[in-house]
């Protein structure tokens, strides 16, 4: 089989966080989550099954990858090989499009693009919802990157129904400013961080109860285009996730001094009447949810403290795109 189409997937930032698995192998989450897909950060990937190579071969950003990285991709491709019986080695070429110096290595766009490309190359041609369950097996957050706009990853009851559902196209004056506090690779992976939190944090039960409520409320706010409500729930939910980590043993925190500086600036901007709200993931970078129409004004204020290459404004992104080569 020689179909070699490139697929683009955009990354996403969770407004209602996923932080914990109930099944490590199948990547089934302990709660549902909800994100905004962003158009400024994406991955393009092609997969081709080729008779003329002897083993799976993986290039990332034009560089041939080592065995460990290639094995990770091969393990994922197994999901597509099993139902189709394809044994042929695969040539995988992947490029991350991330503005210079951002260093936001994104498993979400990476695994979603790989899933999309493997879906085409294998001829499996799964519909999006089922494809999102495959992307999930690569990385939890990738489940949501199959779709654009606001997307819910429903925790489901099994591997078959733990999938993403598009909620709203986010085409209503919403954007995000990504503040790159530090682009170094994180020391504790999200996989290890969430596992430790689930197992040891006494706050975890409270998190599960409250995040379920946040999800219901944010969906109502999204449907009524209530930006302030969406922002308030986003900021609160992100802080509660980080609270669970502080309660873990050993305690975990991804914050750096400039993360706090960014949070304080967001609060200050709100005091001045500019609505914006922050969220953070398993790293020190701060993402500021704002009105797209306010984003340049907000960026200019951040530029008084951060270098401009640390500041990236993004619009909402689309779902998987099949590129014409």
> Where along the sequence are the contacts to ligand PMV (CB under 6 A)?
14, 17-19, 33, 107-108, 139-141, 190-191, 281-282
Residue 231 or residue 238: which is nearer to ligand PMV going by CB?
Answer: 238
Residue 96 or residue 139: which is nearer to ligand PMV going by CB?
Answer: 139
Whether residue 177 has a cis bond before it, omega within 30° of 0: no
User: By the 8 A CB rule, do 70 and 58 touch?
Assistant: yes
Least distance CB 18 / ligand PMV (angstroms): 3
CA dist 200 and 59 (Å) reads 38
C-alpha dihedral, 24 to 25 to 31 to 37, nearest 10°: 110
Least distance CB 50 / ligand PMV (angstroms): 30
CA dist 106 and 110 (Å) reads 6
* 146: its two tokens: 């199959």
Residue 18 or residue 277: which is nearer to ligand PMV going by CB?
Answer: 18
Residue 18 or residue 204: which is nearer to ligand PMV going by CB?
Answer: 18
Least distance CB 169 / ligand PMV (angstroms): 20
CA dist 283 and 246 (Å) reads 14
Q: Helix, strand, or coil here: 218?
A: helix
Least distance CB 120 / ligand PMV (angstroms): 23
Least distance CB 284 / ligand PMV (angstroms): 12
Residue 168 or residue 281: which is nearer to ligand PMV going by CB?
Answer: 281
CA dist 86 and 309 (Å) reads 44
Least distance CB 238 / ligand PMV (angstroms): 9
The values of phi and psi at residue 50, to 5°, are -130, 130
CA dist 160 and 76 (Å) reads 17
Residue 140 or residue 175: which is nearer to ligand PMV going by CB?
Answer: 140
């Amino acid at each position: 089989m020689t179909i070699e189409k490139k697929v683009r997937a955009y990354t996403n930032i969770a407004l209602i966080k996923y932080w914990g698995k109930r099944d490590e192998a199948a990547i089934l989450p302990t709660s549902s989550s909800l994100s905004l897909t962003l158009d400024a950060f994406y991955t393009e990937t092609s997969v081709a099954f080729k008779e003329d190579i002897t083993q799976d071969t993986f290039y990332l950003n034009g560089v041939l990858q080592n065995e460990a990285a290639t094995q990770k991709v091969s393990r994922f491709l197994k999901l597509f090989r099993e139902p189709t019986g394809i044994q042929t080695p695969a040539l995988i070429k992947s490029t991350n499009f991330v503005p210079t110096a951002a260093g936001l290595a994104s498993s979400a766009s990476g695994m979603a693009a790989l899933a999309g490309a493997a879906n085409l190359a294998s001829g499996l041609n799964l519909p999006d919802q089922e494809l999102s369950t495959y992307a999930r097996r690569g990385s939890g957050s990738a489940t949501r990157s199959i779709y654009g706009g606001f997307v819910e990853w429903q925790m489901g009851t099994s591997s078959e129904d733990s999938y993403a559902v598009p909620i709203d196209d986010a085409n209503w004056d919403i954007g995000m400013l990504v503040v790159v506090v530090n682009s170094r690779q994180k020391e504790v992976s999200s996989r290890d961080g969430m596992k430790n939190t689930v197992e040891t944090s006494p706050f975890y039960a409270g998190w599960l109860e409250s995040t379920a409520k946040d999800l219901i409320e944010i969906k109502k706010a999204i449907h009524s285009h209530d930006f302030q409500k969406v922002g308030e729930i986003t900021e609160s939910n992100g802080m509660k996730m980080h609270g669970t980590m502080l309660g873990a043993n050993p305690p975990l925190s991804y914050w750096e001094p400039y993360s706090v500086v960014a949070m304080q600036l967001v609060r200050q901007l709100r005091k001045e009447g500019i609505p914006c709200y922050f969220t953070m993931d398993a790293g020190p970078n701060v993402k500021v949810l704002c009105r797209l129409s306010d984003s340049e004004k907000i960026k200019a204020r951040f530029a008084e403290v951060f270098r401009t290459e640390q500041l990236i404004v993004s619009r909402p992104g689309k779902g998987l795109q099949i590129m014409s080569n």
